[in-house]
């Protein structure tokens, strides 16, 4: 293992308050045998991203150690190659995902909410509420309540907007929080083409 990777592992052990690499692997949502890959191939970007997400929320170390000893910890899907557009729409067909430990959901009171997934936002149209580069937690749903912030696919572009159903009109108004970005309406045939992906339930600032 390279010296720089040893330092990263030591930093993780210090943060989690553990003394073994296997314990670090379990807390991050991997199997203990993953350390063999770390020894031979080094620490990957996905490992660093998981540590960044957990450490950014400053979870209590003791709680995390207790959770690491429980088998079958809850996991959620994280799509590392998907970017949700807070702008003019992004075509993105990549659906490869990783399963990550969901212990941090307790911070957002989402421990009992099902069908949660995590993606990253790209763009500034939802400023100041959602910043470029932030990670968001979505709840997969087939419908939304008026005024909720939703993620949806329209004509192979993925957006995040506040959605308002217009009374007595067969259309949905998609609102950008940033006044520099125009809002738009979905109506007519596009209503049938619109595919709801999920509802915003939490966001995580990227440091």
Domain boundaries, the chain: 1-71
For β-strands 75-85 and 116-122, DSSP reports them as parallel
169, with CB counted inside 10 A (0-12, 13-18, 19+), is exposed
Checking if the pLDDT of 69 tops 50, the result is no
3-state secondary structure at position 24: helix
Residue, of 155 and 30, whose pLDDT is higher:
155
Q: How far is 126 from 109, CA to CA, in rounded Å?
A: 23
- End-to-end, the C-alpha distance of the chain in Å comes to 27
Rg (CA), the chain: 19
Structure confidence at residue 165 as a pLDDT band (50, 70, 90): very high
pLDDT of residue 196: 92
Across the chain, what does the average pLDDT equal?
A: 82
pLDDT score recorded for residue 28: 78
Interval 77-100: pLDDT, tens: 888 888 887 655 555 545 678 888
pTM of the full structure: 0.61
Residues 90 and 7: their CA atoms lie apart, in Å, by 37
């Amino acid at each position: 293992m390279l010296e720089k990777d040893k330092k990263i592992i030591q930093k993780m052990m210090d943060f989690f308050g553990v003394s073994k690499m296997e314990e670090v692997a379990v807390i991050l949502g991997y199997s203990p045998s993953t350390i063999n890959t770390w020894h031979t191939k080094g620490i990957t970007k996905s490992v660093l991203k998981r540590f960044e997400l957990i450490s950014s929320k400053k979870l209590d170390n003791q709680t995390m150690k207790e959770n690491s000893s429980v088998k079958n910890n809850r996991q959620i899907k994280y799509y590392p190659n998907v970017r949700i557009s807070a702008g003019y729409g992004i075509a993105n067909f990549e659906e490869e995902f990783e399963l990550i430990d969901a212990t941090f959901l307790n911070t957002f009171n989402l421990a009992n909410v099902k069908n949660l997934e995590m993606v990253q936002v790209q763009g500034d149209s939802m400023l100041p509420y959602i910043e470029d580069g932030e990670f968001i937690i979505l709840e997969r749903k087939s419908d939304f309540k008026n005024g909720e912030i939703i993620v949806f696919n329209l004509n192979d572009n993925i957006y995040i907007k506040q959605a308002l159903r217009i009374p007595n009109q067969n259309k949905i108004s998609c609102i950008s929080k940033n006044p520099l970005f125009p809002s738009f309406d979905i109506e007519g045939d596009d209503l049938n083409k619109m595919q709801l992906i999920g509802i915003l339930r939490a966001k995580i600032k990227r440091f």
